[in-house]
Amino acid sequence: MSDWLTATDVMTRLGLKPQTLYAYVSRGLIEARADPSDSRRRLYRAVDVGRLEHRKQRGRRPAAIAEDAIAWGEPVLSSDITTILRGRLWYRGQDAAELARTAKLEDIARLLWDCGTQRFPPLFTLVPEGPARQRIFAVLAERAAGDAAMAGRTKKTLYLEAASVLDALVDAIAGRPGQGPIHARLAQAWGCDSKGADLVRRALVLLADHELNASTFAVRVTASTGASLAACVMTGLSALSGPLHGGMARRVLMLMREAEREGIEEVVAARLGAGTPLPGFGHPLYPDGDPRAAALLAAFEPPPAYARAQRTIAALTGEAPNIDFALTALATRLVLGEDAPFQLFAAARCTGWIAHALEQFETGRLIRPRARYTGPEPG
């Protein structure tokens, strides 16, 4: 089956009128593009149509709708911050990959927080001792316990608080207070040269936000209670620490170590034969490849083992690398340490978490979904 369908095909499969099809496209439920053979026509992504067809077959029962929405399905809340459309990641309407060419994380923070040219004073964080991940959690936990809730705060004070939380998290990663651009502070702490610092900058921009992922949704739930920004970020960090989210880079590293021992062809064949997914490759939201990975990998030469793995897996599966593979390759190239991908993720995504926390708080609504009970019949 073709990856793209005509309007007639879509309307026949879904039983739609033309105006309904156009409404689905405008809501981001079906991706559309110009027909290369006829610029007057448009084509529609088949996988999006298939998902809607599946929902229609299941019926409009609330339980079925809710399940599909949570599992990579229809949007469950409105946001002006980030979207994934036409295979690209957009921060308030701007292409994240293009921004990564020159922007700093501070620029992206101002964009996502929608605070214009607000300037943030340099701050000083008392950084505890211990491994970087332990320092991050300790600093945020202390702030979450002591910072004031968002209620009653002006926008200016919330922006200053946001900058303070981000600065504290970066200091915790670096292991000491610092000034200057965030990427430069982290690069200096990791012993990177100017080229390495620029790669860190690109990675931070590309990771700043990713719409309503698991950690961001957790942040919005916390923000809906009116909790402090530090508490919201702490929630996001906790979700990020899970092996299926920010911990995915460790699984990529395990795959590469296994490939080093046994050979990448043998490892891939064994995993495919067992029906085991390959960490670091493919992404449900990017059928044509993760643009964040493409933008980052284009900026440096991956280590030979990673380049070989990328070629082999593409040949055997057709899957392109995602951001977890690119981050692991970057950390290996710059000799940053095993936990560096998580630390980069945390520093960058803190900006997005704060943006979503601020947006959710402004709605004044508590996020309180219902569970579909499947236990024993109540007596």
The C-alpha atoms of residue 256 and residue 323 are separated, in whole angstroms, by 15
| Residue 244, strand partner residues | none
**Dihedral, CA of residue 144, residue 324, residue 45 and residue 43, to nearest 10:** 110
Can 290 be counted among the known catalytic residues? no
Which among 64, 295, 89 has a CA at the least distance from the CA of 202?
A: 295
The C-alpha atoms of residue 124 and residue 55 are separated, in whole angstroms, by 52
Question: Which residue out of 245, 288, 290, 339 is catalytically annotated?
Answer: 245
| Residue 6, strand partner residues | 43
Written as one letter, the residue type at 222 is T
Q: What is the DSSP string of 246-262?
A: TTHHHHHHHHHHHHHHH
First to last CA, the chain: 51
Question: Which residue out of 167, 209, 290, 324 is catalytically annotated?
Answer: 324
Question: Which residue out of 48, 167, 209, 283 is catalytically annotated?
Answer: 283
348 within 8 A of 203, measured Cβ to Cβ: yes
Distance of CA 289 to the CA centre of its chain: 14
Q: How many CB atoms lie within 10 A of CB 173?
A: 25
Structure tokens at 189: 């702490």
Which among 199, 197, 188 has a CA at the least distance from the CA of 326?
A: 199
Can 324 be counted among the known catalytic residues? yes
Tell me if residue 321 falls in helix, strand or coil.
strand
Can 356 be counted among the known catalytic residues? no
Q: Angle formed by the axes of helices 323-334 and 304-317, to 10°? A: 160
Tell me if residue 4 falls in helix, strand or coil.
strand
The C-alpha atoms of residue 71 and residue 244 are separated, in whole angstroms, by 14
In three state form, how does the secondary structure of 34-98 look? EECCEEEEEEEEHHHHHHHHHHHHHCCCHHHHHHHHHCCCCCCCCCCCEEEECCEEEECCEEHHH
The C-alpha atoms of residue 42 and residue 33 are separated, in whole angstroms, by 6
Q: Which residues are catalytic?
A: 245, 283, 324
